[in-house]
Amino acid sequence: MPARRAVPVAAPRRPRGRPRKTLAERDEGNRRQELVRAAARLFHRQGFAATTTRDIAAKAGMQSGSPFYHFKSKSDLLHAVMEEGLRAAGQRQAEALLTLQSDGTSAAAVAPEAALRALIRTQFDILLGPGSDFVPVMLYEWRSLTSRQRAGVAKLAREYEAPWVPVLQALRETGRLRADVHLARLLIFGALNWTVQWFDPKKGATLDDLTDAAMELFVHR
């Protein structure tokens, strides 16, 4: 009998892109996020100096040494809180501006007043709305970072503030904003950010009310 020829077997195709994370890897990622959220809440409520890694682990429902599996130090955890908070804030801001174009309007055609209102309203939501611990921690605990960490967070903050510049410039060109654009941006952010010190929703004002008041202050009729 003639010898049978071997049937070539194709090698299994390797999936493109990054390999899928295992359940253990996904769980570790989730635990890291739990630590960051817990740290943000405690740093906001108690302050960085008064919060221990044991406090953070307990808040996240973990063993006292668990934070050091994900972060080298409490300072690194603070840095992660600020970085991730700014990245999330930037995403929310971009989504708010894209919503103005949901009817097919181009970015250039969006009225600068509408764009500024969207930016201000989003900023108030980031500062004062649900889950608003991240950015206030950055405002309070900036000096607790190392110089290298501050440089990285400052870069993210500049990227977050960048979309405000063309909006303010457009208002300046139409006479609706009379101040220098650079100074106006600094003053507006200073005023908005300071609301974390005094705003109390129990006293009747809403975030929409704050937005209306801010527009009246910053934009000329």
Enter the tokens of residue 43.
């740093």
Q: Is the pTM of this model over 0.75?
A: yes
Phi, psi (5° rounding) for residue 187?
A: -70, -40
Contact 66, 41 (CB under 8 A): no
Superfamily holding 85-218: Tetracycline Repressor, domain 2 (1.10.357.10)
Enter the tokens of residue 107.
């970015």
Q: Tens place of pLDDT for every residue, the chain, 221 residues?
A: 444 444 343 344 444 544 443 433 444 557 888 899 999 999 999 999 999 989 998 998 888 888 888 888 899 999 999 999 999 999 999 999 998 876 556 555 679 999 999 999 999 999 998 888 888 898 889 899 999 999 999 999 999 999 999 999 999 999 999 999 999 999 999 999 999 999 998 888 999 999 999 999 999 87
Among 1.10.150.240, 1.10.10.10, 1.10.10.60, 3.30.300.30, name the CATH number for the domain at 22-71: 1.10.10.60
Same CATH fold assignment for domains 22-71 and 85-218: no
Domain boundaries, the chain: 22-71, 85-218
